[in-house]
Structures are given as structure tokens and as C-alpha cells.
Amino acid sequence: MTHNQGVTGSSPVRPTHHKHPRVLFLHLQAIDQAYYYILFSRSLNRFYVGVTSDSVECRLQQHWDKLYGSRSFTARANDWEVVLTIPCNSLTQALRIEKYIKRMKSRRFIEQLIEDEAMLNRLKQRFA
């Protein structure tokens, strides 16, 4: 092979690297409505927190169908139910709320959030 021939199987038209992180950030800003949700499984006695730009019912069905793989956390049980849904102004807001609640690492905090609407409203305002 001479220097000018190139490499077999290469594709100069499509790069093999991932999209730049800014593209993802811009995509997150473009979504108008998003939801933060909390699921509960009685059999595991555990909460699961998540975010979606789809309907929460659609996302719950995806968890039931094990769309995220048979080894994902939600695949451990078939009795997940929605216990809280927080409509957010953007996916960015929903992700910030999710990150904050996960950082708390507190079942008690989640239970208080489910029961206390004022606490919920303060959380939404904090990340508006």
C-alpha cells in the first residue's frame, strides 16, 4: 500500500467520535416539558427516582418492559408504581431536581417530599 491509498474500511464522510457535549446541552434546553418522577416498589420496599420528557405513564411502561435491560435497578421488580410526578419547565430543571434529590440519599427526604406539597413547591422554585 502506498502512502496515498488510505486505509481499507475507513469512512472519511462519517466520523467515529461521539457528538460534542454542547450538542447534548442544547438538546436539553430545547425540550419544553419534562417530568421528574418517583416510583415505589412494595416488593423491594425501595424508591426509584427518574426524569423523562415523555409521559410518566410511558416511562413506567418502559421500566415494566425492562427496556433498560434485565440488569437495571428497575428490572428487579414488576410492581413499580408512580408515587410522585413533578411537571417541570424544562428537562434541565427536571435533571437538576433529580440530581439534588439523589444527592440527599435519604428515604426520609423522599417520603417528606411526597407528603408535603409546600416542600415540593420550594424545590421547584429553587431550580426554576
Provide CB contacts within 8 A for 96, sequence distance 6+. Answer: 127
Inter-residue contact 60 to 50 (CB < 8 Å): no
Question: Which is nearest to 74 in space by CA: 104, 39, 113?
Answer: 39
pLDDT digits (tens, 9 = 90+) for 55-85: 898 888 888 888 887 888 888 999 999 999 9
* Residue extents of the structural domains in the chain: 32-126
Domain 32-126, CATH number (from 3.40.1440, 3.30.1310, 2.60.40, 3.40.50): 3.40.1440
Read out DSSP for 33-55? -EEEEEEEETTTTEEEEEEESS-
End-to-end CA distance of the chain: 60
Distance CA 47, CA 58 (A): 18
Look at residues 43, 49, 46, 126 and name the one whose alpha carbon lies nearest to residue 89: 126
Residue range 6-62, pLDDT digits in tens? 333 333 333 334 444 444 444 444 556 899 999 999 999 999 999 999 889 888 888
pTM for the structure as a whole: 0.70
